[in-house]
């Protein structure tokens, strides 16, 4: 079955450490997205990519970085510059060029040790 | 202009009752309005979506009502069941923006009592 796989499901970060969250999709979607979800704040867009080797900042990109070297992969790095990284991170994808719903992975919960 | 305001924040409904969640937007360029259902520890899943050329769309027990002039849309869950207990998000996007960015509401936590 096609879908989005996020790993790990739970991740712990030490102060000053960078961590990378994995997102892989086999839906053949062009566009991929990273959202951060905090209680009571809904989903906020961190970065998005409409095509391989191209990505754009979302509303809360500071302290995060991404790469898009392959169509199926869109990893997110939470850097030490992100001072409040504890959150639930969701990866999504959609077909580009046609308005389609975004498909989401099951998320990674990041906590600070 | 980019915000989507969702209410209520939480909702408790008796089994068999009607759950109603409302969203309002300001950006008239929005032309696609999906609703997502999210269970704890899972990603949101598309429930139902509407475009502004229709005023209502129904899929099973779920109905979206859309009021273009008021820039509001709502989700109605008929005959609510305990299995419907989840967080519901509305969203909006513009097919003409070229970015395919979705603007999400802040979510409504629904609890259906057995």
Q: Which pLDDT tens digit goes with each residue over A9-51?
A: 999 988 889 999 999 999 999 999 999 999 878 899 999 998 9
Residue from B5, B26, B14 nearest B77 by CA: B14
All residues of chain B having their beta carbon less than 8 Å from the beta carbon of residue A90 are 43-44
- Interchain proximity A43–B104, CB inside 8 Å: yes
- Mean pLDDT of chain A, nearest integer: 91
- Interchain proximity B32–A99, CB inside 8 Å: yes
Smallest Cβ distance to B104: which of A42, A50, A94? A42
All residues of chain A having their beta carbon less than 8 Å from the beta carbon of residue B104 are 35, 42-44
Res. B100: pLDDT tops 90 = no
Smallest Cβ distance to A42: which of B31, B45, B106? B106
Smallest Cβ distance to A99: which of B89, B95, B106? B95
Q: What is the pLDDT of residue B104?
A: 92
Q: What is the pLDDT of residue A69?
A: 97
Q: What is the pLDDT of residue A90?
A: 96
- Strands (E) in chain B, as ranges, are 4-7, 10-14, 19-25, 33-38, 45-50, 56-59, 62-67, 72-77, 86-92, 103-104, 108-113
Interface check for B106 against chain A (CB to CB < 8 A): the answer is yes
Q: What is the pLDDT of residue A98?
A: 54
The Cα B45–Cα B47 span in angstroms is 6
The distance of Cα B26 from the centroid of its chain, to the nearest Å, equals: 16
């Amino acid at each position: 079955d096609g879908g989005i796989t996020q790993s790990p499901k739970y991740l712990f970060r030490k102060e000053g450490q960078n961590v990378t969250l994995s997102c892989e999709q086999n839906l053949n979607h062009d566009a991929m997205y990273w959202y951060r979800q905090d209680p009571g704040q809904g989903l906020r867009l961190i970065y998005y990519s409409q095509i391989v080797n191209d990505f754009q900042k979302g509303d809360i990109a500071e302290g995060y970085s991404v790469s898009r070297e392959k169509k199926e992969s869109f990893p997110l790095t939470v850097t030490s510059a992100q001072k409040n990284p504890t959150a639930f991170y969701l990866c999504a994808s959609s077909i580009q060029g046609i308005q389609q719903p975004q498909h989401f992975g099951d998320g990674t919960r990041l906590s600070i040790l | 202009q980019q915000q989507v305001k969702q209410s209520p924040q939480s909702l408790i409904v008796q089994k068999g009752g009607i759950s109603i969640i409302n969203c309002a937007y300001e950006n008239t360029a929005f032309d696609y309005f999906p609703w997502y259902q999210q269970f704890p520890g899972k990603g949101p899943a598309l429930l139902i979506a509407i475009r502004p050329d229709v005023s209502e769309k129904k899929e099973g027990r779920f109905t979206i009502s859309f009021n273009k002039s008021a820039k509001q849309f709502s989700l109605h869950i008929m005959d609510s069941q305990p299995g419907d207990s989840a967080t519901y998000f509305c969203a909006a996007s513009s097919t003409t923006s070229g970015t395919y960015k979705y603007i999400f509401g802040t979510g409504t936590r629904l609890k259906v009592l057995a």
